[in-house]
Amino acid sequence: MSTPLVGLMAAAFALGATVWFFFVQAPFLLRRLGRERFVPIQMLATRQYGRALVVATGVMLAAAVADALTHGLALANLLTPLVGTAALATVAALVNARVLIPRAIKAGGRGYLDVRGHDSEASTASFAADGVGEATATMHRLVVLAVVTMLAGVVPHLILLGPADARPAQETGPAAHTEPNSTPVVLPLGEHASVKMVRITIAPGGVLPAHSTPVHATVAAMSGVGSVTIGQARHDLPHHGAVFLPKQVPHAVVNTGDTPLVILVHHLKTTR
């Protein structure tokens, strides 16, 4: 299972669990049980919800970092929207689970007697905002704020990993440097030598995944800017710049600019 897919599943779980917790199970239990019986159950459920989100967002972050490191160990490879959104969601979930939720539950325990005999006033909105009596109102609002902050990381993370994030197919040989709209062009250079040329367009933030070829190659930027990782070394690929790709050495290309990166790959098909 690929790391982007793992991150996508973790982000989807975090979003789904939040929707379920606040908009499905809480209103249902509040109506069925009444506020007095609902409060202790919701306190326990909130604790478990917070812990589950720490795990889910942590998996999001680990998957994003692992995916970024496939392009090299440079710090710049970690400064991506995927890592940033996952980090935001993880920090918010940790603060909520480790600090805010325990304090809200502790305050709720002290104010539990305030709700006895007031089931007719029950509503999910008022419980989320005000908690169990006046003592917990501030803590409940901070918990909700942390959840909203977490979602501010989860939702963009899902968008970045969604179908719009077109990742080029894995390359297995010299002719695999192609995309659906790019056609390889072979130019014979002599009786015993030839060059295969392939034009590839990579969207901003896009990646040509790590792969190797059985022949030497060069990659030149016709437009846009990017970076090329060869083994563990990272090289900048400026506009009209070029990088040599040794055969049998894994390499990857990343579009680091704001415009499409159009590269021309030359496969040096010669034995001399």
Kindly state whether residues 131 and 186 are assigned to the same domain. no
Q: Distance (Å, rounded) from C-alpha 3 to C-alpha 29?
A: 37
| High-pLDDT (> 90) share of the chain, % | 28
pLDDT band of 113, cuts 50, 70, 90: low
The answer, yes or no, to whether residue 9 has pLDDT greater than 50, is yes
Q: Residue 262 domain-assigned?
A: yes
Q: Residue 233 domain-assigned?
A: yes
pLDDT band of 140, cuts 50, 70, 90: confident
Kindly state whether residues 178 and 154 are assigned to the same domain. no
Q: Distance (Å, rounded) from C-alpha 263 to C-alpha 200?
A: 5
Task: Quote the pLDDT of residue 112.
Answer: 53
Asked if 251 and 228 count as a contact pair (C-beta separation under 8 A), the reply is: yes
Asked if 192 and 149 count as a contact pair (C-beta separation under 8 A), the reply is: no
Which tens digits make up the pLDDT trace of 236-261? 999 888 898 998 899 999 999 888 88
Q: Which of 127, 161, 195 is the last residue of a domain?
A: 161
Q: Residue 67 domain-assigned?
A: yes
Cα angle 183, 187, 192; round to 5: 135
Kindly state whether residues 138 and 181 are assigned to the same domain. no
Q: Which of 126, 161, 196 is the last residue of a domain?
A: 161
Structure tokens at 214: 């059985």
Kindly state whether residues 151 and 264 are assigned to the same domain. no
Kindly state whether residues 201 and 258 are assigned to the same domain. yes
Kindly state whether residues 25 and 150 are assigned to the same domain. yes
Q: Residue 167 domain-assigned?
A: no
More confident call, 187 vs 99? 99
Kindly state whether residues 26 and 140 are assigned to the same domain. yes
Task: Quote the pLDDT of residue 166.
Answer: 41
Mean pLDDT of 54-65: 94
Task: Quote the pLDDT of residue 222.
Answer: 87
This prediction's pTM: 0.56
| High-pLDDT (> 70) share of the chain, % | 72
Q: Which of 106, 131, 161 is the last residue of a domain?
A: 161
Kindly state whether residues 11 and 73 are assigned to the same domain. yes
Kindly state whether residues 105 and 184 are assigned to the same domain. no
Q: Which domain holds residue 127?
A: 3-161
Kindly state whether residues 21 and 156 are assigned to the same domain. yes
Kindly state whether residues 144 and 18 are assigned to the same domain. yes
Task: Quote the pLDDT of residue 111.
Answer: 54
More confident call, 77 vs 258? 258
Task: Quote the pLDDT of residue 153.
Answer: 94
Task: Quote the pLDDT of residue 152.
Answer: 95
Kindly state whether residues 186 and 153 are assigned to the same domain. no
Mean pLDDT of 20-34: 84
Cα angle 141, 146, 147; round to 5: 95
Domain of 241, CATH number, reads 2.60.120.10
Count the domains in the chain. 2
Task: Quote the pLDDT of residue 167.
Answer: 44
